Amino acid sequence: MTSSQQEATPIIRANKMNKFFGVFHALKDIDLTVARGETVVLCGPSGSGKSTLIRCLNALENHQKGELEVAGVQLTGKRREIDMVRRKTGMVFQSFNLFPHMTVLENCMIAQMRVKKTSKEDARKVAERFLARVHIPEQAGKYPAQLSGGQQQRVAIARALCMSPEVMLFDEPTSALDPEMVREVLETMVELAREGSTMICVTHEMNFARKVANKVVFMDQGSILEIAKPDDFFTNPQHERAKEFLAQIL
């Protein structure tokens, strides 16, 4: 493939994808296409399958039926495909999952050195660049426990960015934060979206969705019920379940 063909290929292509946990049908006939450069907000009630879907996109979970292609890799359960997809995706969780015994800088360097075999000097430069990009270059020498929750989450974002992922996946990145820290993390995410990063975000922060999402995906009971532009979704949701959901969170 030439690079322009690659640009035109969607980063995510799910076609009638299904996921089971034993007999429990967690994802039902998921059809989803995400273009490069798009920001997608995934929302829906608790237990609707948002985390499961995003974990499938990162090959943290395997699917059973249907097709899933991520960053040009068709996932069929082979180890090699899973490794490739993990390298091409960056994931940010609700709990920041930083290594407590490593400094902020080391947290951002370790995967570059271990996975990408980047030299220590280069890994340090990249880590410093992305810590500056999330506006905490001065925290590089501290340990995670010395930072606020918002700062730790921005380290987690920088750490993911250091691997130059083709798509960033966020699973409720602000849900564990005190209200005053939510904004600084959202601002960082807005900047990333505006700079053209491809992002899929599970979040109930509807102002974020309004500001930068190209589309909102609404899930309920393992199915995607609605895919719409934010304005359309907020002003005119099509499904009763979407109306109820919006009434609860807005």
141 and 109 Cβ atoms separated by less than 8 Å: no
Contact call for residue 51 and ligand ADP (CB under 6 A): yes
For residue 1 the two structure tokens come to: 């493939």
Least Å distance between CB 208 and ligand ADP?
17
26 and 19 Cβ atoms separated by less than 8 Å: yes
Out of 51, 107, 151, 198, the residue judged to bind Mg ion by CB under 5 A: 51
For residue 38 the two structure tokens come to: 């798009």
Q: Distance between CA atoms of 250 and 242, rounded to whole angstroms?
A: 12
From 46-54, 103-111, 154-162, 190-198, span contacting Mg ion (CB under 5 A): 46-54
Q: Distance between CA atoms of 85 and 107, rounded to whole angstroms?
A: 21
Q: If binding means CB under 5 A, how many residues of this protein chain bind Mg ion?
A: 1
The site map against ligand ADP for 20-49 (x = CB under 6 A) is -x--x-x-----------------x-xxxx
Residue 21 touches which of Mg ion, ligand ADP, none (Cβ within 5-8 Å per kind):
ligand ADP
Out of 39, 52, 151, 152, the residue judged to bind ligand ADP by CB under 6 A: 52
The residues, any chain, with a CB within 8 Å of residue 235's CB and separated by 6 or more, are none
99 and 107 Cβ atoms separated by less than 8 Å: yes
For residue 103 the two structure tokens come to: 């400094």
Residue 4 touches which of Mg ion, ligand ADP, none (Cβ within 5-8 Å per kind):
none
Q: Looking only at residues 87 through 106 of this chain, which bind ligand ADP when binding is defined by CB under 6 A?
A: none
Residue 173: which of 8, 1, 35, 41 has the closest Cα?
Answer: 41
Least Å distance between CB 144 and ligand ADP?
25
Contact call for residue 14 and ligand ADP (CB under 6 A): no
Nearer to Mg ion, 48 or 118 (CB): 48
Contact call for residue 197 and Mg ion (CB under 5 A): no
Least Å distance between CB 246 and Mg ion?
18
From 18-26, 45-53, 144-152, 188-196, span contacting Mg ion (CB under 5 A): 45-53
Helices 149-161 and 104-115, interaxial angle, to 10°?
20
For residue 236 the two structure tokens come to: 């005119």
Residue whose pair of structure tokens reads 């426990």 in the numeric block: 145
Residue 2 touches which of ligand ADP, Mg ion, none (Cβ within 5-8 Å per kind):
none
Residue 152: which of 123, 177, 127 has the closest Cα?
Answer: 177
Size of the chain, expressed as the number of residues it contains: 250
Least Å distance between CB 26 and ligand ADP?
4
Applying CB under 5 A, the residues found at the interface with Mg ion are: 51
Applying CB under 6 A, the residues found at the interface with ligand ADP are: 21, 24, 26, 44, 46-52
